[in-house]
Amino acid sequence: IEIKNILANGKDEKEVVDITNLQTEHIKAFPISRYYKEPKPHICIITTDIKQRSIALAIILNHNLEIADKHKLETVSDDLRAYYQKVAREYRIPLSG
């Protein structure tokens, strides 16, 4: 619920996230930055399009700049430059023939 509050109240260059179409999914996965024996809980944020994804990611990154280190949100799969490569990786779609 806190992540939805951050996204609902945050702005990126006067752009806001459309909360009505935002979905969150609770998953267990291994963090990328450190080694753990067991998967840790994560929240997967699902948006309707690339623009909403970019706005949401920018709001989260700005939020991290404004708060103390221990309360920062760790992001994964946050490549803003080449979205098609991100999708290809996640769905195992080959990009070359």
- The pLDDT tens digits of the residues spanning 7-27 come to 888 877 778 888 888 888 888
Residues forming beta bridges with residue 45, ordered by sequence position: 24
Coil, strand or helix at 29:
strand
The Cα 6–Cα 36 span in angstroms is 28
- The pLDDT tens digits of the residues spanning 28-46 come to 988 777 888 998 888 888 8
